[in-house]
Amino acid sequence: MAMIAADNRGLRLVTRYAVLVLIAIIFVFPLVFMLMSSLKPDQQLLQDSGNLRAFLPVGDISLQNYTDAFQRAPVATFVFNSVLVTGITVALSLLLCSAAGFAFVFVRWKGRDTLLALLLATLILPFETIAIPLLMMVAHLPWVGFDGVSWGWLNSYRVQIIPFIADGLTVFLFVQYFKDLPGELIEAARVEGASWWQIYRRIVMPLSGPIFATAAILKFLVMYNQYLWPLMVTQEEGYRPVMVGLQYFFQLNVAWGEVMAYLSMITVPVLAFYLYLQKAFIASIASTGVKG
Amino acid sequence: MASKFTVSNRTGWLMAGPAILLIAGFVILPFFLAIAFSFTNQRLISPNPTEFVGLANYRQLLGVTMVTLEPVRDDTGAIVMQDGEPEYPSLRALTRNNPDRPDLAGMREWFSFSLGGEDRTYVLARDVVFMKAVVNTFIFVLIVAPVQAALALGLALLINQRLRGINVFRAIYFMPVVVSIVVVSLLWRLIYDGQSGLLNNLLGAISFGMIEPVNWLGNPSTALGAIIAMSIWQAVGFHMVIWLSGLQTISPTLYEAAAIEGASKWQVFRYITWPGLRNTAILILIVITMQAFGLFAQIDVMTNGGPLDSTQTIVFQAIERGYGKQDISGGSAISVILFLIVLSISLIQRWLTREKT
């Protein structure tokens, strides 16, 4: 009897893992296909996609596609633009949205509750519904530079950065988190004569590592993966980010090997970053679900 | 309990001001501009001054009407048949230069149906492509929302087991979420390829060649389905994680009590897990619905709305007009329509999640 029961349990365990592995294969196969294809010449790539060799580094393997991709498009420029725009936006977003969250939770001021309600209302505005009027707006906005006033923000870094620094969700995440911090601590610090800046810098920031990580990861994913907006506002390649840069690989003859090499180059760093900080990534997505 | 130490108008405005100004300028203002532009003939660049046109943009987008036509009869009164079907008078005669029905001018056939009798009813739309876009978007949302929510719940239950190495599987299932939808769409374009696509080869192999290769994205009857499947594949991990955090709020003592009572797996799910997930369920449906209405990148990368407008969507139409044709007013009107749809859905959410007293 005991033997059979043990066997049953063993079998159940094997089935469970088999199911888990099968589903895992469904989720990774396109990514493995991408990586393997990026190493193969076009002709072999298309032949291999008919069988399991598509997922194996076999045949005529080289980094030729990567070299060719750099020749076909200014890959380095696209990567630089994406890193610059994403980096600046994330940094400014953390600074301004956390400051706003701080003011909404710890400071009492006129108009606070009304403005917080207004901010929350913006959560139901999908970006897609404001993209077109925003395009019209930025096409006519003034900018003061070193060479005087110019009109129109199209083809610039600022048009990709400034509209995305502050958003309702990020402020809201900070507000939610700060609400759970001990308010007496801040009150006591005020009584002791600490300035607001000291409280923010010395008390609130050291306690808020997780929420800064969450906000940074969410903003990073949104910014790095931007497609619709830069597609509309950057016609010059000098300002285009990686996702829009993909278009260069679809002019005239599509060389799939190069496409795969480019996709690998722009995806693998993000995946590596994700696998490294996996827990924080998943926690940040889960925290967006806490609203509602 | 406002103590004088925490009251400071200056600090409040100084710290919250920058974020508020940016949101006001780049989220709230464009929203009101969308409404304003939708009542004008605004173009991105135009030599002519902008004019107020009232509801013309909306009328152009949403104009739908029905006409019922009798079949054509010959001199003897018999119905003229063509290819075994009764012949009907040409719609063009009705919609072009027809002084009797000026309201039909410029309308085109959207679809037609027959209620059994000889007459045939034609549904005409002023903008057939937009109508198709609305229908496709709703099909997409109505399929994606329940299917993706259910699959995500299944995955969450699977991942919630106590098994060695389960975190590795959680990490893998979530992986597509961090990959750009643009990259994902391109990869799947190759997988769906009509000749040498992985999917066709796989189907051919498991059916020993019985299943003919399908040009998944090039065929009007499969293109939207292919995009739906891929979109679910990409986003299901996102909602799995939200379900998981919902599952973890359910008290373990409830499960222990159920185990003592000898409840079956189904009973545990039905009477403990599911009631504990009610709010998560509503939230997930709303989040998926909102995301699904924004369907754009997949279309732009994979099909451009084709074939035969079978994958047109509301957002794709808004961008094609507002950006592609520089018709800011038309694109804005579509944006406002989309907003009204999303707003009604979140009002329904409010109503569903209202506190029952």
The answer to whether the peptide bond before residue B307 is cis (omega within 30 degrees of 0) is yes
At A5 the pLDDT is 61
| Radius of gyration for the alpha carbons in chain B, expressed in angstroms and rounded | 27
Torsion sign over Cα B258, B262, B265, B267:
negative
Residues B228 and B309 in one domain: yes
Nearest by CB: A104 against B16, B296, B336? B16
**Which of chain A's residues have a Cβ under 8 Å away from the Cβ of B176?**
27, 30-31
**Which pair of structure tokens corresponds to residue A178?**
């700060």
Tell me which residue range forms the domain holding B87.
64-125
Residue in A128, A165, A270 nearest the CB of B178? A270
Helix or strand holding residue B338 (H, E) = helix B328-352
Map tokens 């924080």 to a residue.
A280
Ranges of chain A whose pLDDT falls below 50? 1, 291-292
pLDDT (0 to 100) of residue A292: 38
| pLDDT value at residue B50 | 84
pLDDT at A167: 93
Question: Does residue B312 share a domain with residue B180?
Answer: yes
Residues B69 and B196 in one domain: no
Task: Please indicate, yes or no, if residue B223 is contained in any of the structural domains.
Answer: yes
pLDDT at B111 exceeding the cut of 90: no
Residue among A127, A171, A196 whose CB faces B19 most closely: A171
Helices A168-179 and A75-106 pack at an angle, to 10 degrees, of 40
Domain check: are B98 and B182 in the same one?
A: no
Question: Does the beta-carbon distance from B286 to A292 stay under 8 Å?
Answer: yes
Nearest CA in chain A to B22: A166
Domain shared by B273 and B159, yes or no:
yes
Quick one: pLDDT at residue A22?
94
In chain B, how many domains are there?
2
A170-206 pLDDT per residue, tens: 999 999 999 988 888 888 888 888 888 899 999 999 9
Spell out the SS3 assignment of chain A.
CHHHHHHHHHHHHHHHHHHHHHHHHHHHHHHHHHHHHCCCCHHHHHHHCCCHHHHCCCCCCCCHHHHHHHHHCCHHHHHHHHHHHHHHHHHHHHHHHHHHHHHHHHCECCCHHHHHHHHHHHHHCCHHHHHHHHHHHHCCCEEEECCEEEECCCCCCHHHHHHHCCCHHHHHHHHHHHHCCCHHHHHHHHHCCCCHHHHHHHHHHHHCHHHHHHHHHHHHHHHHCCCHHHHHHCCCHHHCCHHHHHHHHHCCCCCHHHHHHHHHHHHHHHHHHHHHCHHHHHHHHHHHCCCC
Question: What is the rounded CA–CA span in Å between residue A232 and residue A228?
Answer: 7
**From CA A25, how far away is CA A18, in angstroms rounded?**
11
Q: Evaluate whether residue B353 is within a structural domain.
A: no
Verify whether the Cβ–Cβ distance A270 to B191 is below 8 Å: no
pLDDT digits (tens, 9 = 90+) for A140-156: 888 888 878 888 899 99
Same-domain check for residues B258 and B121? no
Q: Say whether both B77 and B115 belong to one domain.
A: yes
List CB contacts (< 8 A) between B327 and chain A. Answer: none
Give the model's pLDDT for residue B1.
44
Predicted local confidence at residue B355, as pLDDT: 64
Tens of pLDDT, residues A113-138: 999 999 988 988 889 889 999 999 99
pLDDT: is A25 or B79 the higher one? A25
Residue A20 tokens read as 């888990």
B334 and B319 Cβ atoms separated by less than 8 Å: no
Whether residues B258 and B209 share a domain: the answer is yes
Q: Who has greater pLDDT, B133 or B211?
A: B133
Asked whether the predicted pLDDT for residue B69 surpasses 80, the reply is yes
In chain B, the residue whose alpha carbon lies closest to the alpha carbon of A112 is B12
Instruction: Identify whether B5 is part of a domain.
Output: no
The ipTM assigned to this model is 0.90
Nearest to B335 among A108, A111, A129 (CB): A129
> Which residues on B lie below 8 Å from A16 (Cβ)?
161, 163
Within-domain flag for B211? yes
Q: How many CA atoms lie within 13 A of A4 on its CB side?
A: 1
Between these two residues, B226 and B276, which has the higher pLDDT value? Answer: B226
Residue B357, pLDDT > 60, answer: no
Distance from C-alpha of A219 to C-alpha of B9, rounded to nearest angstrom: 29
**Is-contact B216 B199, C-beta < 8 A?**
yes
B16:A112 CB<8 A? yes
Cβ contacts of B23 on chain A, cutoff 8 Å: 119, 122, 166-168, 171
Residues B247, B149 share a domain? yes
> To which residue do tokens 């679900």 refer?
A289
- Model confidence at B90, pLDDT cuts 50, 70, 90, reads confident
CATH homologous superfamily for A84-241+267-288? MetI-like (1.10.3720.10)
Helix (H) / strand (E) containing B111: strand B108-113
**Closest by Cβ to A20, choosing from B30, B169, B193:** B169
DSSP letter string over B64-110?
Answer: EEEEEEPPPB-TTSPBPEETTEE----HHHHHSS-TT-GGGTT-EEE
Domain of B185, CATH number, reads: 1.10.3720.10
Contact A265, A184 (CB under 8 A): no
Tell whether B189 and B313 lie within a shared domain.
Answer: yes
Residues B243 and B214 in one domain: yes
The residue out of B125, B147, B165 marking a domain boundary is B125
The full length of chain A comes to 292
Nearest residue in chain B measured CA to CA from A54: B198
Please compute the mean of the pLDDT values over residues B144-169 and round it to a whole number.
92
Q: Would you state the structure tokens that stand for residue A31, as one six-digit string?
A: 């990514």
- A44 near A60, Cβ under 8 Å? yes
- Please list, in sequence order, all residues whose beta carbon lies within 8 angstroms of the beta carbon of residue A39, skipping any fewer than 6 positions away: A57, A61, A62, A63, A65
Q: Which of B6, B19, B339 is closest, CB to CB, to A96?
A: B19
Contact: B11, A50; criterion CB under 8 Å: no
Of chain A residues 196-255, which have a CB less than 8 A from chain B? 196, 200, 221, 224-225, 227-228, 231-232, 243, 246
Residue B198 and residue B263 share a domain: yes
Give chain A positions within 8 Å (CB) of B149.
Answer: none
Cβ neighbour number for residue B189 with a 10 Å cutoff: 20
